[in-house]
């Protein structure tokens, strides 16, 4: 559902793409600077290291709890995307009398800076500062670290949201290239990676996906 809504936003942004216009570059720069100056506080707050936690070889988390986690996290992201869509439309209608025309590079950066980047940074902050996202809290889960650092949290969430980014790139490039080989490769890669991460989360005994393995983290039941 999230990928569908995101792709619909992508299509709306690039629907009328024909030519380059100077003010388009200004829009891209505006969003870049907005995110550049909005998120450094996240990095500044996440400095202290905490004692190492034990990784469980056999993790007793049930499928039901993981589904609850995913549901609340996806609803949270979906809510953000809805507000982003409404806000973008208001800006376009008020200041530009309609949806602007973007080049492919501008579209790629715009989607990355307004959706992928803020969500990744927000989940990085929550996983570090709160030991888990909203979904983890609702499901009675928490994220533990072998060595708690912001870098570990960022690595985990970068891998977690990488399929989403690849999907965006494939969709946007496809509409500029009439869905050439590269766009198909990106889309297939996004799907395979997403399925692989989900399968690792569900079927590995320790319930760790690739991001957890690289970041040395593990989702556990609270209090374990």
Predicted model pTM = 0.78
Quote the number of domains for the chain. Answer: 1
Could you give the CA distance from residue 185 to residue 178 in angstroms, rounded to a whole number?
14
In a domain, 139, yes or no: yes
Residue 204 half-sphere exposure toward CB, CA atoms < 13 A: 17
pLDDT at 27: 53
Q: For residue 141, what are the β-bridge partners?
A: 221
Could you give the CA distance from residue 191 to residue 176 in angstroms, rounded to a whole number?
21
pLDDT at 106: 95
Q: Both tokens of residue 11?
A: 């299509």
Q: Give mean pLDDT in consecutive 10-residue pieces for the chain, a chain of 224 residues.
A: 50 46 50 53 53 84 95 97 96 90 95 97 97 96 96 98 97 95 97 97 96 97 81
pLDDT at 223: 76
pLDDT at 20: 44
Counting beta carbons within 10 angstroms of the beta carbon of residue 220, is it exposed (0 to 12), middle (13 to 18) or buried (19 or more)? Answer: buried
In a domain, 43, yes or no: no
pLDDT at 97: 87
pLDDT at 47: 52
Q: Are the beta carbons of 53 and 217 closer than 8 angstroms? A: no
pLDDT at 13: 47
Could you give the CA distance from residue 112 to residue 170 in angstroms, rounded to a whole number?
13
- Angle, CA 194 vertex, CA 183 and CA 32 arms, to 5°: 65
- pLDDT tens digits, 159-213: 999 999 999 999 999 999 999 999 999 999 999 999 999 999 999 999 999 999 9
In a domain, 106, yes or no: yes
Residue range of the domain that includes 211: 2-38+58-221
**Residue whose entry in the numeric block shows the structure tokens 């200004």:** 26
In a domain, 86, yes or no: yes
> 5: part of which helix (H) or strand (E)?
helix 2-14
In a domain, 53, yes or no: no
Query: What backbone phi and psi angles, to 5 degrees, belong to 52?
Result: -65, 145
In a domain, 157, yes or no: yes
Could you give the CA distance from residue 137 to residue 130 in angstroms, rounded to a whole number?
9
């Amino acid at each position: 559902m999230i990928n569908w809504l995101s792709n619909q936003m992508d299509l709306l942004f690039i629907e009328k793409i024909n030519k380059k216009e100077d003010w388009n570059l200004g829009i891209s720069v505006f969003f870049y600077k907005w995110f550049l100056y909005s998120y450094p506080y996240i990095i500044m707050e996440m400095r202290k290291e905490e004692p190492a936690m034990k990784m469980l070889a056999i993790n007793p988390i049930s499928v039901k709890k993981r589904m609850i986690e995913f549901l609340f996290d996806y609803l949270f992201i979906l809510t953000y995307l809805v507000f982003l869509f409404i806000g973008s439309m208001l800006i376009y209608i008020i200041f530009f009398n309609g949806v602007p025309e973007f080049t492919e590079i501008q579209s790629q950066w715009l989607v990355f800076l307004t959706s992928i980047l803020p969500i990744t940074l927000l989940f990085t902050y929550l996983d570090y500062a709160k030991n888990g996202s909203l979904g983890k809290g609702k499901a009675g889960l928490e994220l533990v670290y072998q060595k708690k650092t912001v870098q570990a949290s960022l690595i985990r969430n970068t891998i977690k949201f990488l399929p989403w980014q690849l999907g965006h790139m494939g969709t946007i490039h496809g509409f500029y290239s009439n869905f050439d080989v590269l766009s198909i490769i990106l889309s297939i890669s996004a799907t395979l990676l997403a399925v692989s991460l989900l399968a690792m989360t569900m079927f590995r005994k320790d319930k760790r996906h690739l991001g957890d393995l690289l970041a040395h983290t593990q989702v556990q039941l609270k209090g374990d």
